[in-house]
Every structure is written in C-alpha cells, then in structure tokens.
A = this chain, B = another copy of it.
C-alpha cells in the first residue's frame, strides 16, 4: 500500500457538496453515522481549544524528524483540503509551525492532522489554523529523506486515502471514505434529528431505561435490584 518517493498529482476529491453536507456534524455523530468505523486513535488532540475542521484529504507519509514532504504536499493542496500526515514510525518532533501554516492557508487548506508533533501553537491559535497532533514540541525537523504525497496512509491507526473527507473536533478525528460521504452525511442528519427528540425527553426527566426499552433486556440478563 504505502509507497515512498511518490507524489500523486491527480486525486479524486469528494465533491464539495458532500463535504459541506458533513461539515455541520460533530466527529461523534459522523463516527456513529459511519457505523462506528474510521476513527483515529484518541491520542490525536487539537493543539488549541475550539479547533475544528472538515475537508478533503491530501495525504502525506513522513519520515521521523523530517518534514520535507509537507512542503511537497503544499503544492498539491486545493481550496478545502486538509493535510493528513502519517509517519513511518512514532515521532513527536515539531514537524509543523506557523510558517507552514501560512503557506498551507495561502493554498486554501482547512487545517492539518498529523501523527507527529507541532510547534508555534500560540501563533496557530492566533491564526485560527486548526491542527490536530499527537504532541506539542518545539523541536524542529530536517529535510533529508523522501516520503510520499497522496498515497494511502495509515494515520493514528486509521486508513486515509487521498480525497477522503476528514472531520476533526474536540472529540477526535474521523475519516469518511470518499465513496461513502453522501450516505454518511444523510445518516448523520437522521441521527441528529433523532437525538433532538431524545434530548427533549431526557431533559424532561425521562430515563434512558424507559426511552430505550432497556428494562426487559436487563432483567433477562439477571440484573437484580436490592434495597
């Protein structure tokens, strides 16, 4: 799957309408709408409170302590893309900072998801350029070894293909395969509508035990109430 030393210039992005349709939903909702698949491991965290993004993936495969491929990726970015970077090994160096953020924003990028470290977090907060990373680290990187751009990449245990939709917020990062974007957006909308009704009933004091009809199954499994 992975390839080194390759940049794919032509990728098929999910169409903008489907991205826009996914955009209002939280990661938790999208993940449920996906059938509970596609979630990155929870060690990927926003570098500042309020960071949120939704866009099409330009993927990057990095080498440890080396951010060369992020510069290569910048050229492949179009309006509405999210750069999504994995690494051939665990590396928490600061691959990314505000200069690269300035470059990516100028190219139209929505933000970055990286299985590595990030620096300049105060500047990124000020710019409101959302980054989701595994670490914050002032340690800079070299430019010495080839990785790849726009190949399938595993990032924090999730497979990302170029052009997939990536949604990230305070709860984590989820990847929606291009082919499923429209369907997942519709399922997310249905789920959110259903939740609104439930929310009202919970607010009124109704119990999940009743709302979800749990009392029977619990009794059947032998749940015992004692005084």
Which A positions have Cβ atoms within 8 angstroms of B?
1-10, 26-28, 31-32, 35-39, 41-42, 45, 49, 63-66, 68, 70-72, 74-75, 86, 88-94, 97-100, 102-103, 106-107, 117, 119-122, 135-140, 142-146, 152, 154, 156-159, 169-172, 174, 177, 195, 198-199, 202-209, 212, 214, 217-218, 221-227
Q: Smallest distance from the beta carbon of A114 to chain B beta carbons, Å?
A: 14
Interface centre among A9, A137, A138 (most CB of B within 10 A): A138
In the complex, besides A103-B208, A136-B172, A137-B171, 20 extra interface pairs with C-beta distance below 8 angstroms are A8-B226, A8-B227, A26-B120, A26-B122, A28-B140, A31-B140, A36-B139, A37-B88, A39-B139, A41-B90, A63-B142, A68-B214, A72-B209, A88-B139, A100-B208, A119-B171, A142-B144, A143-B214, A145-B221, A154-B159
The answer to whether A7 touches B226 (Cβ under 8 A) is yes
The 17 sampled A-B contact pairs (Cβ below 8 Å) are A4-B36, A9-B227, A28-B94, A39-B88, A42-B117, A65-B66, A65-B89, A71-B212, A100-B202, A103-B206, A119-B171, A119-B172, A136-B171, A138-B174, A143-B217, A144-B144, A144-B145
Q: Smallest distance from the beta carbon of A76 to chain B beta carbons, Å?
A: 10
